[in-house]
Amino acid sequence: MSLPDPHASGPVASTLSRRTWMSMSAAAVLTALTTRTLAQSKAKVPDAIRYALIGEGKSEPGTVLRYGIGGVDLARELGSAKVDWRSGFPASLPVVEAMRGGAIDFSFATSTALIYAVGGKVPVVPLACYPLPSNECDLLVHADSPIQSVRDLKGKRVADHRGTTGTYSLVKTLEAAGLKLSDIQYVNLTAPDAEAAFANKRVDAWISWQPMIELARRRYSARTLPDVKTYDYAFFVAREQFANEYPETVAKLVRMVRDAQRLIEARPDETVARFEELGAFGGKQLERDVYLDLVKSRRLSFSGAGQMNLVDAASATAVQELADSFHELKIYPERIAIKDWLLDKRHAKVRDAIAAEFQSNA
């Protein structure tokens, strides 16, 4: 149906004032704009989101989302977007490498992995972050060891996986005790090799993060040294092209991860029991018990995700300090300006979408 011409003469024109016509015209325009906006919004929802899970992915916030634990409904939140779950990543560094190849859209990453990504020009976007629990890392010594404090590590063989969260924790812990990395016999070993070396007493101490280090403590009746702290940050990140094309979808997913972690911490026994049903602990009672204890004491890598927020100057500065330390230790061959990258205005569109999502779903 066409609108009447306000300039025409005759009965129709006489019964319609200019104001009435303008009102009708505005309504028609609004309807058209709304229809077009809805169509555009619908077009911005991706067909699929490739979500990387660390390890088997059966005991983390992503697990809650994947299996609808606690009534979580991905379809209701994400609309037509489907999540393609990709598990089996041993750590977050291989995840960011997969993002480089365009195989992953969304995942968790520690700042150590993110610094590597920035240095290697991997196209990722920082979405939100939180400090890892200050007591996530532990430094183990044998039950019969004469080592009683961090200062006693001088000249001793200490195992660590170089370039990880444990490395920075070790560096900062030694500094607090008046020591340097050069004051110990540093042994670079992956976690499985470090555990074997520790079990066979080929090293005097071993630093790593939860839950593996607590499992080792209980297996070998080992002791933890006091005054060991964790200084790293954790992030959720997305492939840059994906985040820029679908900022609202990415924002919803970040917020859902946050809420999933809150659910885990609000119902630890219930959610860990569900994780166990999904095969998270391989039927091993010790692993289940350790994990439940760490959830309740909030000492896992995901434990801060319930309070994650946008990257700010404080978090960016802390990550820059880590990057500078690794550069001085020659772990990174060049200085990486990650603070500038984290606060770069080119991330503004995605950042604004996440801010709006967090604000409307506090």
Q: Which pTM does this prediction carry?
A: 0.86
State the pLDDT at residue 7.
35
Residue 82 above 70 pLDDT?
yes
Measured CA distances, 207 to 145, 173, 186, 203, 223 (Å) = 15, 11, 11, 11, 12
The separation between the first and the last C-alpha atoms of the chain, rounded to the nearest angstrom, is 45
What is the per-residue pLDDT for 102? Answer: 96
Q: What is the pLDDT of residue 30?
A: 37
The tokens of 202 are what?
């080929």
Q: What is the mean pLDDT of residues 58-72?
A: 96
pLDDT of 12 higher than 60 = no
Please state, in angstroms and rounded to a whole number, the distance separating the CA atoms of residues 245 and 349: 10
In what side-by-side order are the strands of the sheet with 157-160?
185-188, 157-160, 205-208, 138-141, 223-224
Cα–Cα distance for residue pair 162/331, rounded to 1 Å = 8
Q: In the chain, where do the E strands start and end?
A: 48-54, 82-89, 106-110, 124-131, 138-141, 157-160, 185-188, 205-208, 223-224, 233-239
Token pair for 137: 């890392």
- pLDDT at site 26: 41
pLDDT of 22 > 70? The answer is: no
Single-letter amino acid code for the residue at 5: D
* Confidence band of 11 (pLDDT split at 50, 70, 90): very low
With H, G, I as helix, E, B as strand and everything else as coil, classify residue 139: strand
Q: Is 18 a residue whose pLDDT tops 80?
A: no
Is pLDDT above 90 for 10? no
- Is pLDDT of 319 > 90? yes
Nearest in space to 346 (alpha carbons), one of 244, 258, 262: 244
* Confidence tier at 4 by pLDDT (50, 70, 90): very low
Summarised one tens digit per residue, pLDDT across range 120-175 is: 999 999 999 999 999 999 999 999 999 999 999 999 999 999 999 999 999 999 99
Strand 205-208 vs strand 48-54: parallel, antiparallel, or unpaired?
Answer: unpaired
Supply the pLDDT for residue 176: 97
Instruction: Give the chain's mean pLDDT.
Output: 89
Cβ pair 129, 92 in contact under 8 A: no
Copy the structure tokens of residue 173: 């812990």
**Distance between CA atoms of residues 129 and 233, nearest Å:** 7
Quick one: tokens of 177?
């005790």
Tokens 């303008």 belong to residue: 22
Domains annotated for the chain, with CATH where assigned, are 48-132+232-295+302-360 (3.40.190.10), 138-224 (3.40.190.10)
**Amino acid at site 260:** A
pLDDT in tens, 217-251: 999 999 999 999 999 999 999 999 999 999 999 99
pLDDT tens for each residue of 102-118? 999 999 999 999 999 99
The values of phi and psi at residue 311, to 5°, are -65, 135
| Residue 274 pLDDT greater than 50, yes or no | yes
**For residues 254 and 347, is the Cβ–Cβ distance under 8 A?**
no
Number of Cβ within 10 Å of residue 162's Cβ equals 15
- Classify strands 124-131 and 157-160 as parallel, antiparallel or unpaired: unpaired
Q: Say what the pLDDT of residue 44 is.
A: 83
Token pair for residue 72? 């979580």
* Angstrom distance (rounded) from CA 156 to CA 183: 8
**Sign (positive/negative) of CA torsion 239, 240, 243, 246?**
negative
